[in-house]
């Protein structure tokens, strides 16, 4: 399992879920998340193909390419997540790198987007995943850790079905949001599942 393979798997998963992300985002949003996901996936593929550096460099290149091609509000947050995550220590173990990257991504998004876990956003999938990665014992097998992190993102996404939107367009239509997962949280859960469980 390499970071390049994981990112490629995430990109493919986003491409395969463009229509579903568009549908979900159209319920209480402007319906452009599918388009954004496609652009993010293309940017990731380009960064992976061009990369000759370490994990930090690859994450940075993903962030820069996403920022240049996916200029929507969600695209900007995803670019911020990658750029924030790129500051990790390349010498750390896979668990340490994952925990550092996800924690930095969460902090970057919260600072840029002024949202917090519980607001019914992509943070509600990202934050529990980051928390699981941070709390994972160094003695646990890597496979157990990565599957647990992906499961936490999925559980967090599912929880958004009962959350009241506190930010963005969905805030003005809480009754329509109820029962449906947040589209941004779905994007995160889909990407994490592919990146962390579908690559050996």
CA distances (Å), origin 3, targets 34, 42, 155 = 24, 16, 23
Other C-beta atoms lying within 10 Å of the C-beta of residue 30: 11
pLDDT at 58: 97
> pLDDT digits over 99-141, tens only?
999 999 999 999 999 999 999 999 999 999 999 999 999 899 9
Q: Can you tell me the distance from the alpha carbon of 184 to that of 198, in angstroms, rounded to the nearest whole number?
A: 21
Distant-in-sequence, close-in-space partners of 39: CB < 8 Å, separation ≥ 6: 66, 69, 70, 75
Q: Can you tell me the distance from the alpha carbon of 18 to that of 186, in angstroms, rounded to the nearest whole number?
A: 11
Q: What is the CATH number of domain 3-197?
A: 1.25.40.340
Q: Is the pTM of this model over 0.85?
A: yes
> pLDDT digits over 131-185, tens only?
999 999 989 999 999 999 999 999 999 999 999 998 877 777 778 888 999 999 9
The number of CA neighbours under 13 Å toward the Cβ of 110 is 14
pLDDT at 85: 98
Closest CA to 128 of 163, 102, 161, 97: 102
71 — pLDDT class (breaks 50, 70, 90): confident
> pLDDT digits over 23-47, tens only?
999 998 889 999 999 999 999 999 9
pLDDT at 170: 75
Three-class SS of residue 122? coil
Exposed / middle / buried, residue 90 (Cβ in 10 Å: 0-12, 13-18, 19+): exposed
Distant-in-sequence, close-in-space partners of 65: CB < 8 Å, separation ≥ 6: 43, 44, 46, 47
Closest CA to 77 of 168, 6, 11: 168
Other C-beta atoms lying within 10 Å of the C-beta of residue 98: 27
């Amino acid at each position: 399992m390499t970071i390049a393979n994981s990112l490629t798997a995430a990109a493919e998963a986003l491409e395969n879920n463009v229509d579903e992300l568009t549908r979900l985002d159209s319920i209480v949003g402007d319906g452009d998340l599918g388009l954004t996901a496609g652009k993010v996936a293309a940017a990731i593929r380009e960064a992976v193909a061009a990369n000759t550096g370490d994990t930090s460099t690859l994450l940075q290149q993903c962030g820069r390419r996403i920022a240049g091609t996916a200029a929507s509000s969600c695209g900007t947050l995803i670019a911020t997540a990658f750029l924030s995550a790129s500051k990790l220590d390349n010498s750390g173990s896979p668990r340490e790198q994952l925990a550092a990257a996800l924690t930095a991504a969460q902090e970057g998004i919260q600072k840029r987007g002024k949202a917090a876990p519980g607001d019914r956003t992509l943070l509600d999938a990202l934050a529990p995943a980051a928390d699981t990665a941070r709390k994972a014992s160094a003695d646990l097998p890597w496979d157990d850790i990565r599957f647990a992190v992906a499961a936490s993102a999925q559980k967090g996404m599912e929880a958004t079905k009962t959350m009241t939107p506190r930010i963005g367009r969905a805030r003005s239509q809480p009754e329509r949001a109820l029962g449906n997962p947040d589209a941004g949280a779905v994007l995160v859960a889909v990407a994490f599942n592919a990146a962390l469980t579908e690559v050996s």
